Amino acid sequence: MREPKSVTDLLTYRLLRLSNTLGLYSNRRYRNELDVTLPEWRVLSIIALLDTTSARDISRALATDKAWVGLTVQKLERRGFVRRVSDRNDGRRTLVNLTRQGQEVHDVIMANARRRQKRLLGALPPGTADTLILCLDRLQSEADQMLAELDETQTLDSSE
């Protein structure tokens, strides 16, 4: 592999550009068809995955800010897509889950997402889709490790 000569040659640039392009596509489609924004969809999808969950768990799953998740959950609740419930084990903690309407919206978008994935993976050479997924998993694992190392270093630096 050749040495990157410009920012556009960097893996991170290419991944971010692909992510942004697909994000724009998804945001436009979901907003036009279901009046759901991409951030709302992301939160809905994690709630569907985790069932009844907390804003903190959603934040961790999306690797994003808990306050942002909280605001998005409030919007989804106002629209009738999620409901807040008290945690039976800790009355101070609030959990969220999908309403029937939220589940229906999730199911429609998930069907669209599956079709989009099939189309994207169909653009790859035959037999390479599984390898791509494996490579992405390895890159994510390495990026997680890099972030953990940075957090550890910064914690050590701030305690000195």
CA 99 to chain centre: 20
Do strands 82-86 and 94-98 pair parallel, antiparallel, or not at all (unpaired)? antiparallel
Q: Which residue stretches of the chain are H helix?
A: 11-34, 38-50, 55-62, 66-78, 100-122, 129-159
Q: Which two tokens stand for residue 12?
A: 């991170």
In tens, the pLDDT along 100-124 reads: 999 999 999 999 999 999 999 999 9
Q: How far apart are CA 72 and CA 43, in angstroms?
A: 7
CATH for the stretch 7-123: 1.10.10.10
pTM of the predicted model as reported, rounded to 2 decimal places: 0.81
Q: Give, for all 160 residues of the chain, the pLDDT tens digit.
A: 789 899 999 999 999 999 999 999 999 999 999 999 999 999 999 999 999 999 999 999 998 999 999 999 999 999 999 999 988 888 788 999 999 999 999 999 999 999 999 999 999 999 999 999 999 999 999 999 999 999 888 776 666 6
Segment holding 96, helix H or strand E = strand 94-98
Instruction: Look at residue 159 in the predicted model and tell me its pLDDT.
Output: 65
Return the domain boundaries, the chain.
7-123, 127-160
Instruction: Look at residue 123 in the predicted model and tell me its pLDDT.
Output: 97
